[in-house]
Structure 1
Amino acid sequence: MTQPVNRVVLAYSGGLDTSVILKWLRETYQCEVVTFTADLGQGEELEPARAKAELMGVKPEHIFIDDLREEFVRDYVFPMMRANATYEGLYLLGTSIARPLIAKRQIEIARQVGADAVSHGATGKGNDQVRFELGYYALQPDIKVIAPWREWDLTSRTRLIEYAEAHQIPVPKDKRGESPFSTDANLLHTSSEGKVLEDPWQEVPDYVYSRTVNPEDAPDRPDYITIDFERGDGVALNGEALSPAVLLARLNDLGRAHGIGRLDLVENRFVGMKSRGMYETPGGTIYHAAHRGIEQITLDRGAAHLKDELAVRYAELVYNGFWFSPEREMLQAAIDHSQARVNGTVRLKLYKGLASVVGRKSPDTLYSEKVVTFEDDAGAYDQRDAAGFIKLNALRLRLLGRRDGR
């Protein structure tokens, strides 16, 4: 016996899965369904989602399509980038970082329309169910969460299509039969997984890539660009001031042309299994390299090395869905404090799949050519000081060596 539900807010894409969920929610819970579609820069026309929802009987005032691109980059992507966070050293967390914002907006809409439940289309095998629901519960502790993939008996793509056809739900032609792989996209990245990607020994087929040209086919001449930073955030590209979302979109265009940001990864999911995915993060890869570049000359060694340690924990929290946790907020406060003097300009060379830092300058630089030079430093550094420094650091090693007869 299902718990009574009056109204539910569904994270709705207009695709096959969420359209079936919309109908299933009505049948199973006898409730009113409110749809929410987030524009996170996935590059798709979203008005068809509105038309599909209306076709399925959702009231026009209960169809929400929100442009969240600026909020997404400003309040989620950029704070994460300040941390230089990469999950398992490689993944720039493109899917992970989008989920807390979607969850936040769903809860806001639920309050606005008086809904007593929220629902999502994430499967019971993946990480997204955890990310969505941790967000829901953090923001609305008593909200009812409906996760159809954990409740229904539609356990295959074939069963899903049969249900859709039995209930006159339009099935996109490319979804008939089994699709070769599944994708998720937003302004930061596109991810692909499943089917043709499930054998980790097999190279990713070229047709899977959608955001980047093959680096082998990229231009034979490099592009040189500059990114300006203020307090750890990018504010301008090639000297032109841009908003966060526009800056990332421009970097995406540059990264696409040069085949930058491809990643073939076997990762450890939070739910316990290993999965193989292909990620394309063209603009994010360029931005990540640039941010590390400006930190090289503006962060003190101790702060920089501590940040690298914190970044591992920060990335795990984002990947596992703990964006709204106190520990992530504590880490964010420390990271943001470190960015107070991360100002300046980075020059990058974009060429054949690579984004290489080739120059950096800052009014807050800690780099001193006078101190580091191999030429005459005019007394800026007394090389004789190194002898005592080395002896003090070697003292414990010498004592160990004497005791152990090395």
Structure 2
Amino acid sequence: MSEIKKVVLAYSGGLDTSIIAKWLQDEYQCEVVTFTADIGQGEEVEPARAKAQAMGIKEIFIEDLREEFARDFVFPMFRANAIYEGEYLLGTSIARPLIAKRLVEIAKDVQADAISHGATGKGNDQVRFELGAYALMPDVQVIAPWREWDLNSREKLMAYAEQHNIAIENKKGKKSPYSMDANLLHISYEGGVLEDPWAEPEESMWRWSVAPENAPSEPTYIELTYEKGDIVALNGQAMSPATIMAELNKIGGANGIGRDDLVENRFVGMKSRGCYETPAGTIMLKAHRAIESITLDREAAHLKDELMPRYAKLVYNGFWFSPEREMLQAAIDHSQKVVNGVVRLKLYKGNVIVVGRKSESDSLFDESIATFEDDKGAYNQKDAEGFIKLNALRLRIAARKRQAK
């Protein structure tokens, strides 16, 4: 510990990291530098400055990373249609590499001896933070208090906070709040009644969306314009990536879109139940697949679908900066050169319904061939006979062998 003179802490201002800031000062007798990232969590990040100052912290970094997060992390991931275990849209997973990137950059700038984070020793985030940090700064020293201290429950943390006069929001008597994580892509909930996978979430828990049954009785129609696989406009109005996501969160949440309750397999080996609100991401995934459906070649689209689970697993497990993720990204981005056009969606009581898609320059949909009416010779239906017989050849040979026995 004596070798650690300065530590950069990923600091949210919440329960865990507020306690960690004080704990680092006391246990390591070191200077603490805090870094707070605004990645669209929907809450003011500036109060983190006052909390840090109250603990005597001199170097405080508070940065607006919303555009970088959306442009360089979320949008590339959605070009891949990434979804983990068929349900999870990777909202927490994709935020960690950006935070790790800025952590090590700040550590270099202030000549810190180590970095620190508030991820527990049971979770995925410790892996994501540290894999990201090591990929960018291979000799960095990491302090993970949850793997060192004995404050191993929310109740002990609350008691520690009370003992050291650390202010904690959402405190309800002695009851601990949910463990929540929010950014432009989602908000997650863990702990409390959610630790019983049979228990239905409390309606009061949800923050971004109305219950689908309470959503408006009239549908909301929107149009999303795509260029090279990325959304560039909403209802014809050009917007930045972060602005588009913020708007889709509002529109989707108002229509009851984006709630999910799932049990996932953590990288460390355990199963974990969590609830998520991902209004923008739910809309983006549906819309992106719709525009790909008319612009991507069949085999290119099918290959993307085969690669996607591997890509999603890399993101979930913290390998954003790995060569294999970058290799997959290069292939995915190449496929997106033709993913241009407009998708029209109907949002209704928790549902995202595709009602139209068009691409003036890159559509592969040929109405003259696909029509059920007279195609005027655009497609020779007699060609299908040889096609079918060639594909049936191995099946017919096997059937003959069986019949001969």
Tell me the TM-score normalised to structure 1 length. 0.97
Deviations 1:250-295 (A, max 9, x none): 1111101100011111111111011111110001111111111100
Q: 1:175 to 1:160 in 2, by over 3 A?
A: farther
Q: Which amino acid aligns with 1:312?
A: P
Deviations 1:380-401 (A, max 9, x none): 1000000000000000001111
Q: Gapped runs of 5+ residues in structure 2? A: none
Deviations 1:94-146 (A, max 9, x none): 00000000000011100110011000000011100000000010010000000
**Aligned residues of 1:161 and 1:176 also touching (Cα < 8 A):** no
- The farther-off stretch of 184-193 and 149-158 is 149-158
Deviations 1:212-238 (A, max 9, x none): 001101110001110000000000000
Q: 1:53 to 1:175 in 2, by over 3 A?
A: farther
Deviations 1:68-117 (A, max 9, x none): 00000000000000000000011110000000000000111001100110
Mapped pair 1:317 → 2:317: no
Per the alignment, residue 335 of structure 1 pairs with 332
Query: How far apart, CA to CA, are the structure 1 residues paired with 2:316 and 2:235?
Result: 32
Q: 1:8 to 1:94 in 2, by over 3 A?
A: same
State the secondary structure of the residue aligned to 1:96: coil
Query: How far apart, CA to CA, are the structure 1 residues paired with 2:164 and 2:274?
Result: 33
Mapped pair 1:117 → 2:121: no
Per the alignment, residue 53 of structure 1 pairs with 52
Tell me the TM-score normalised to structure 2 length. 0.98
Per the alignment, residue 387 of structure 1 pairs with 385
Q: 1:253 to 1:338 in 2, by over 3 A?
A: same
Per the alignment, residue 139 of structure 1 pairs with 136
State the secondary structure of the residue aligned to 2:149: coil
State the secondary structure of the residue aligned to 1:219: coil
Per the alignment, residue 12 of structure 1 pairs with 11
How many residues get paired?
Answer: 403
Deviations 1:318-350 (A, max 9, x none): 000000000000000000000001000000001
Calculate the aligned-residue CA RMSD, in Å. 1.2
Q: Which amino acid aligns with 1:248?
A: M
The ranges of structure 1 where at least 4 consecutive aligned residues each deviate by more than 3 angstroms after the TM superposition are none
Query: How far apart, CA to CA, are the structure 1 residues paired with 2:72 and 2:198?
Result: 38
Per the alignment, residue 234 of structure 1 pairs with 231
Query: How far apart, CA to CA, are the structure 2 residues paired with 1:370 and 1:315?
Result: 38
Q: Which amino acid aligns with 1:231?
A: K
- The farther-off stretch of 351-360 and 22-31 is 22-31
Query: How far apart, CA to CA, are the structure 2 residues paired with 1:297 and 1:14?
Result: 46
C-alpha deviation, 1:173, in angstroms: 6.1
**Aligned residues of 2:171 and 2:177 also touching (Cα < 8 A):** no
State the secondary structure of the residue aligned to 1:169: coil
Structure 2 matches for 1:108-257, cutoff 5 A? 108-172=105-169, 174=171, 176-257=173-254
**Aligned residues of 1:157 and 1:177 also touching (Cα < 8 A):** no
Q: 1:80 to 1:173 in 2, by over 3 A?
A: closer
Query: How far apart, CA to CA, are the structure 1 residues paired with 2:135 and 2:37?
Result: 20
- The farther-off stretch of 196-205 and 351-360 is 196-205
Indicate the percent of aligned positions where both proteins have the same amino acid. 70
State the secondary structure of the residue aligned to 1:279: strand
State the secondary structure of the residue aligned to 2:337: coil
Per the alignment, residue 360 of structure 1 pairs with 357
Mapped pair 1:99 → 2:104: no
Q: Gapped runs of 5+ residues in structure 1? A: none
Q: Which amino acid aligns with 1:387?
A: E
Per the alignment, residue 375 of structure 1 pairs with 373
Query: How far apart, CA to CA, are the structure 1 residues paired with 2:291 and 2:159?
Result: 54
Query: How far apart, CA to CA, are the structure 1 residues paired with 2:135 and 2:285?
Result: 29
C-alpha deviation, 1:208, in angstroms: 1.4
State the secondary structure of the residue aligned to 1:324: coil
C-alpha deviation, 1:181, in angstroms: 2.1
Q: Which amino acid aligns with 2:55?
A: M
C-alpha deviation, 1:175, in angstroms: 5.8
**Aligned residues of 1:344 and 1:361 also touching (Cα < 8 A):** yes
State the secondary structure of the residue aligned to 1:339: helix
**Aligned residues of 1:157 and 1:178 also touching (Cα < 8 A):** no
**Aligned residues of 2:170 and 2:177 also touching (Cα < 8 A):** no
